[in-house]
Amino acid sequence: MKYVFGNWKMNLSRSEAVTLAEALSHAASGGRVSAQTQLAVFPPICWLDAVSAVLRGSSVEFGGQHSHSSLKGMFTGETSPAMIAELGAKWCLVGHSERRRTFGESVLETAARCAGAVNAGLQPVICVGESGTEQTDGHTVRIVLEQLRPCLAALGPTTKPLIAYEPVWSIGTGRLPTNDQIADVTATLHAETGGQIPVLYGGSVTPDNARELARILGVSGFLVGGSSLDADKFLKIAAEISDK
């Protein structure tokens, strides 16, 4: 199975989100998406209900971009993973670099949020990735393993997580690691998990580079930011990896 997941981040109006979800749902039901490729979208939380209504009965899945470690309580402004699950979501991103770096989420906090998602029955997409300086200084492997291991410890026996390797310096910049660099990190992640968890690549994936990236051994799909806001671009990326 290949996975092409779209992280809409803090973008799109309500009607734009609904229109995009409708376009993806129509494409999937019209046979434009291979049965071997799982599409999922991660809308802003306030549009999740509207998007879930569009995607009910569709093969396109959806999830939360972020969730709290607890299922309920006095946490103003946070979202319970149980609430996300109640809308029919299957997935939740955990530890996206914008959460880790911009909002200062620690490795342990991320692991707690991962455990919360698992408790709510969501499948976590565990995001890991090094900064530009960490990459230049040769710390990529150490950093991604430090981020990954506490999350792995939070998984349950029936959890079917994914890992998204997203170098921070590649997100939204148009700069990509070499295929060999991606393959090396992917191999490390597979070694750490006994090859049991599919690994996606994320960072500046576009319809133009998806074919080349899809060739990389061990990469089972993409976590797409900017290019997931346009149905045609997102579907083209999905088509490129489906051929592999």
Chain contacts with ligand PGA (rule: CB under 6 A) = 7, 166, 171-172, 202-205, 223-227
**Strands 91-94 and 219-224, how do they pair?**
unpaired
Nearer to ligand PGA, 68 or 233 (CB): 233
Nearest residue to the partner ligand PGA, using Cβ:
225
Is residue 139 annotated as part of the catalytic site, yes or no? no
Annotated active-site residue 109? The verdict is: no
In the Cβ-directed half-sphere of 137, how many Cα atoms lie within 13 Å? Answer: 8
Question: Minimum distance from CB of 5 to ligand PGA (Å)?
Answer: 8
Residue whose CB is less far from ligand PGA, 64 or 202:
202
Neighbours of 80 (CB within 10 A): 19
Q: 210: part of which helix (H) or strand (E)?
A: helix 210-214
Could you tell me if 167 and 203 are in contact, meaning their C-beta atoms sit under 8 angstroms apart? yes
Q: Which is nearer to ligand PGA, 76 or 102 (CB)?
A: 102
DSSP codes of every residue in 105-134: --HHHHHHHHHHHHHTTPEEEEEE---HHH
Q: How far is CA 84 from CA 15, 101, 114, 150, in A?
A: 20, 23, 14, 23
Pair 224, 6: CB distance under 8 Å: yes
Residue 150 or residue 225: which is nearer to ligand PGA going by CB? 225
Catalytic residue among 61, 98, 166, 240: 166
Measured from the CB of residue 14, what is the shortest distance to ligand PGA in angstroms?
21
Smallest gap from Cβ 166 to ligand PGA, in A, equals 5
Whichever of 132 and 172 has its CB closer to ligand PGA, that residue is 172
- In the complex, the smallest distance separating the C-beta of residue 70 from ligand PGA, rounded to whole angstroms, is 25
Among the listed residues 61, 96, 98, 240, the single catalytic one is: 96
At 226, list the tokens. Answer: 């900017």
Q: How far is the CB of 123 from ligand PGA (least distance, A)?
A: 17
Q: Are 167 and 130 in contact (CB under 8 A)?
A: yes
Residue numbers annotated as active site? 96, 166
